[in-house]
Amino acid sequence: MDLIVNSLYSNKEVFLRELISNASDALDKLRFLSVTEPELMKDAIDFDIRIQVDKDNGIINITDTGIGMTKQELVDCLGTIAQSGTAKFLKALKDSKDAGGDNNLIGQFGVGFYSAFLVADRVVVSTKSPRSDKQYVWEGEANASSYTISEETDPEKQIPRGTRLTLHLKRDDKGFAHPERIEKLVKNYSQFVSFPIYTWQEKGFTKEVEVDEDPAEAKKDDQDENTEKKKKKTKTVVEKYWDWELINETQPIWLRNPKEVTKEDYNEFYKKTFNEYMEPLASSHFTTEGEVEFRSILYVPAYAPSGKDDIVNPKTKNIRLYVKRVFISDDFDGELFPRYLSFVKGVVDSNDLPLNVSREILQESRIVRIMRKRLVRKAFDMILGISMSDNKEDYEKFWDNFGKHLKLGCIEDRENHKRIAPLLRFFSSQSDEEFISLDEYVENMKPDQKDIYYIAADSVNSAKNTPFLEKLAEKDLEVLFLVDPIDEVAIQNIKSYKEKNFVDISKEDLDLGDKNEEREKEMKQEFSGTIDWIKKRLGDKVASVQISNRLSSSPCVLVSGKFGWSANMERLMKSQTM
Ligand code: ADP
Ligand code: MG
């Protein structure tokens, strides 16, 4: 608890965001579960979140009408930090401290229920699950290491369903118990919560009331020339009363007209929804109609999550699926995107899927197949957009983070080769430090050049120094350097680009269109003795020894057989079996 309080001290106002997000999760959960268990909603109660403050006593009440908690759930969910978002936060905090870093953790993590203790020294949670006929109270204090759970017996405190949190604020934090302060925090942190959030506010309206004439006034009026008119006197008074005030916009951003949503709105939504602290590289908001109707906002993040290889583990929770605005799950990203595009984040809201949709339904659904196709297409449009933007750095950033994913796509998604290939980038023999695209390569091809040349190596340096390059350099032919282990397999899967085949310059039979058969015949004759001698010396170590015209300054070179593995592949295979 100490760690939370101290590491977040400067930003303790996040407590409200956390508690509202729990309330919103609880409402989502109820709405979702009631699809298959309608008895959970037997009481007709609105889905909302209400916040009421008591200025004088420094108390904040946050009440939701969500799924609530049973006694056991209170123990499991609030009893131990290990269960909650707080635990994840603490672990990350520790890891980052161990690594000597202090990257912006607060922005990245939800700190969970325990963030209530940032501002409160006593927290009371009174909750009623529709699965239980009793209401329970959890009570914990900042300085105590234990909590209590008891049945709520006070008739005044009964709630029909959901959870009420009561925060007894610390002396220095009582300032949070102001409706205006709460409203500001909600606008700032929770503007994309899709349930109505109300605050209990003092309101006033003005009205004209007739008043008896004040004798002093009357005297004054007597001196006035125009006494007639002043006979009946009215006065404007402000009538005060308290009422609930809706303080958030509940229409989800993806339902709004894209023309009316600013880039800032999209970025804010992204950051709030995915707990990101960096702006995305690109976003795309679209609606598809016709055969299948859905709305979506997709994002390309600015960086790949560090520390975990999410190509191998595509369980990213990056796509939030809604059906008719009901949040269904963020666990279906594998069904909506191929794993090599699992870095794309976003929301998808469909009107055509059943609310009780399951993974099995998704996998069999024709609707989902169509959705998936469209989503993938939109994702590629978005990436292409980044690559064509004037800001070159953006695509460099993208390629650094997600280039590997696209290369994996070359291997796993034949159908989209046409979309992936223009996005690929490689170093080349003529590109110096910069990556080039295949389009740039093709533009730079010699008029009579038929193929796209490449060499796979373990580094740009070793590619530059290979004897295979000599002849091509002499002819000023550009060669792609495939230096990432996955490059070669990716290229072999694509096979060609704009009808030009990819050709490995380290393979036997490289034809640069400069064969001189006459001369070759002469050379073969002249050196047949040498060839025989080398063959004898090397024996089984090589398949054959040949005269060739592919070198210009080196005396000889080892090449791979036409159908064999390249030297690079062999190196890779070796490193994997070790
Ligand atoms: P997280 O939200 O990441 O699970 P939290 O610490 O915020 O972690 O919350 C812990 C758990 O407590 C939640 O997962 C949920 O089961 C339960 N919980 C918290 N607030 C509520 C609420 N308002 N209604 C129902 N359950 C809640
Ligand atoms: Mg939470």
Verify whether ligand 1 is closer than 6 Å to residue 110 (CB atom).
yes
Verify whether ligand 1 is closer than 6 Å to residue 194 (CB atom).
no
Verify whether ligand 1 is closer than 6 Å to residue 113 (CB atom).
yes
Verify whether ligand 1 is closer than 6 Å to residue 116 (CB atom).
no
Atom of ligand 1 nearest to the CA of 64: 23
Contacts of 425 (CB under 8 A, 6+ apart): 399, 403, 435, 436, 437
pTM above threshold 0.80: no
pLDDT in tens, 181-209: 999 999 887 878 889 999 999 988 988 88
Q: What distance in Å separates the CA atoms of residue 484 and residue 504, rounded to the nearest whole number?
A: 15
| Residue nearest to ligand 1 atom 10, measured at CA | 84
The number of angstroms, rounded, from the C-alpha of 382 to the middle of its chain's C-alpha atoms is 14
For the chain, 578 residues long, the average pLDDT of each consecutive 10-residue run is 63 87 92 88 90 97 97 86 63 65 50 86 96 94 87 93 97 95 89 90 89 64 55 84 90 92 94 89 94 95 72 75 85 88 95 82 89 96 96 94 95 96 96 92 94 93 91 93 92 95 87 80 90 92 85 83 75 66
pLDDT in tens, 461-475: 999 999 899 989 999
Q: What distance in Å separates the CA atoms of residue 57 and residue 559, rounded to the nearest whole number?
A: 84
Describe the strand order of the beta sheet including 233-246 as a list of residue ranges.
147-151, 136-141, 120-128, 162-169, 59-64, 49-54, 197-211, 233-246
Q: Probe ligand 1: pick from 84, 118, 317, max atoms within 8 Å of CB? A: 84
Give the ligand whose atoms come closest to the C-alpha of residue 127.
1
Tell me how long the chain is.
578
Q: Using the mean position of ligand 2's atoms as its centre, give its distance from the Cα of residue 145 in Å.
A: 21
| Phi-psi map region of 162: left, alpha, beta (phi>0 left; psi -120 to 50 alpha) | left
- Tell me, what amino acid is at 110? G
Q: Using the mean position of ligand 1's atoms as its centre, give its distance from the Cα of residue 139 in Å.
A: 15
Report whether 113 belongs to an annotated binding site: yes
Which residues sit opposite 479 in a β-bridge? Answer: 453
Give the ligand whose atoms come closest to the C-alpha of residue 82.
1
Q: Which residues surround ligand 2, an ion (CB under 5 A)?
A: 22, 85, 112
Give the ligand whose atoms come closest to the C-alpha of residue 28.
1
Q: How does strand 136-141 pair with strand 147-151? A: antiparallel
Q: How does strand 294-300 pair with strand 345-350? A: antiparallel
User: Is there a contact between 493 and 487 (Cβ–Cβ < 8 Å)?
Assistant: no
Report whether 31 belongs to an annotated binding site: no
* Whole-number Cα distances in Å, 551 to 259, 466, 478, 517: 61, 11, 16, 16
Report whether 84 belongs to an annotated binding site: yes
Q: How does strand 197-211 pair with strand 49-54? A: parallel
Q: ipTM surpassing 0.85, yes or no? A: yes
